[in-house]
Amino acid sequence: MINYNGTIISYDDLPVEDVKRATFYGDSLFETMRMRDNKLLFIEDHYFRLMSSMRILRMPIPMDFTPEFFVDEANKLAEEVAITDGRLRLQVVRKSDGRYTPIRNNQCKWWMELEPLDVTDYVWSDQGLKVELFKDHYIQAGLLSTIKSSNSLPYILAGIFGKENGYDAMLMLNDRKMLVEAHSANVFILKDNQLKTAPLEDGALRGVFRKNLIAWAKEIGLEIKEESINPFELQKADEIWLTNTIIGVQWVENYRKRTYGGTKAKELVELLQRKLNVLGSL
């Protein structure tokens, strides 16, 4: 079941005409949020990213789109499907006839789907990830790369390549051959006490977890830098982290012939869990 514009329906009943442009041209946006104990984590950050993304894509913004509106609609769906801890995907599509240029640009449709997660909390894994660079296709730096649109072919192809070749994640480069992110996560590299991540100007996704991690890392004594990352820096790093709202922080154990630790990553996960426990008690 999904929440389609405020009505609970079967996925099979999703109106084809409302998702036509999304299917034909990828003319849509989405937000992936984590629900924990019936609470949407980082809801304001997700909301403001969605509003910014809709403006970038020149989508009309309905008057009822507020953080409270999405919380209420998510709760309605959660009650229907009996899920309290899960992955919530909010999809927003432009509805219009026309080809590349919509005949009218005055209507958007949305729907939510919620699937359960196996664990309630962000957890630390004793086993790190094996990663590699993806060089078949590059991310183009610019505003469109910072938003979560449905134009995801480079990430899809990177994921397929990684699965076919035994990698847990693929690292994405931009057209200047700088490291910007992984195929489904932001990337941080740690050297000594300096934690570095690619700037949005290089084509990195405006990750919600990324935004908050930049603040949290200072609490465990790390200096933060948003600077272009040359892939050669991976060989010199002490730790490499992959982050997003669903997984939290995962550490990289192997990249080519290098082996890394995850001590600081574990410290950050423990800090985050303490913050979530406080949030849950409010």
123 lies in a domain? no
Pairwise CA distance, residues 227 & 235, whole Å: 17
pLDDT tens series, the chain, 282 aa = 999 999 999 988 999 888 888 989 999 999 999 999 999 999 999 999 999 999 999 999 999 999 999 999 999 999 999 999 999 999 999 988 888 898 888 889 999 999 999 887 888 888 999 999 999 999 998 888 999 999 899 999 999 999 999 999 999 999 999 999 999 999 999 999 999 999 999 999 999 999 999 999 999 999 999 999 999 999 999 999 999 999 999 999 999 999 999 999 999 999 988 888 766 544
**Which residue in the block uniquely carries the two structure tokens 């359960």?**
116
Pairwise CA distance, residues 109 & 19, whole Å: 8
At residue 107, the 3 state secondary structure works out as coil
Indicate if 68 and 168 belong to the same structural domain. no
Indicate if 110 and 223 belong to the same structural domain. no
Using the Cα atoms of residue 256, residue 200, residue 141 and residue 163 in order, give the sign of their dihedral: positive
260 lies in a domain? yes
249 lies in a domain? yes
270 lies in a domain? yes
- Which of 84, 116, 148 is where one domain is finished? 116
- Which of 116, 145, 170 is where one domain is finished? 116
Indicate if 134 and 267 belong to the same structural domain. yes
Cα angle 244-74-270, degrees, rounded to a multiple of 5: 35
DSSP state of 102: B
Indicate if 88 and 134 belong to the same structural domain. no
pLDDT at 203: 93
Pairwise CA distance, residues 182 & 241, whole Å: 10
pLDDT at 114: 96
Indicate if 237 and 208 belong to the same structural domain. yes
Per the CB < 8 A criterion, the answer to whether 242 and 186 are in contact is: yes
Indicate if 42 and 104 belong to the same structural domain. yes
What count of other Cβ atoms lies within 10 Å of the Cβ of residue 127? Answer: 10
DSSP state of 217: G
What's the CATH code of the domain at 196?
A: 3.20.10.10
122 lies in a domain? no
pLDDT at 279: 62
Indicate if 89 and 155 belong to the same structural domain. no
What's the CATH code of the domain at 107?
A: 3.30.470.10
- Which of 86, 116, 146 is where one domain is finished? 116
pLDDT at 105: 83
217 lies in a domain? yes
Q: CA-CA distances (angstroms) from residue 8 to 3, 4, 72, 108?
A: 5, 6, 13, 18
Pairwise CA distance, residues 184 & 162, whole Å: 12
Pairwise CA distance, residues 155 & 205, whole Å: 12
- Supply the pTM of this predicted model: 0.92
Indicate if 41 and 157 belong to the same structural domain. no
Give the CA radius of gyration of the chain.
19
Indicate if 142 and 240 belong to the same structural domain. yes
52 lies in a domain? yes
Indicate if 100 and 141 belong to the same structural domain. no
**One-letter amino acid of 263:** T
55 lies in a domain? yes
**Number of separate domains in the chain:** 2
At residue 79, the 3 state secondary structure works out as helix
CA terminus-to-terminus distance, the chain: 30
Indicate if 104 and 135 belong to the same structural domain. no
Indicate if 154 and 96 belong to the same structural domain. no
pLDDT at 245: 92
- Range of the structural domain that residue 200 is part of: 129-281
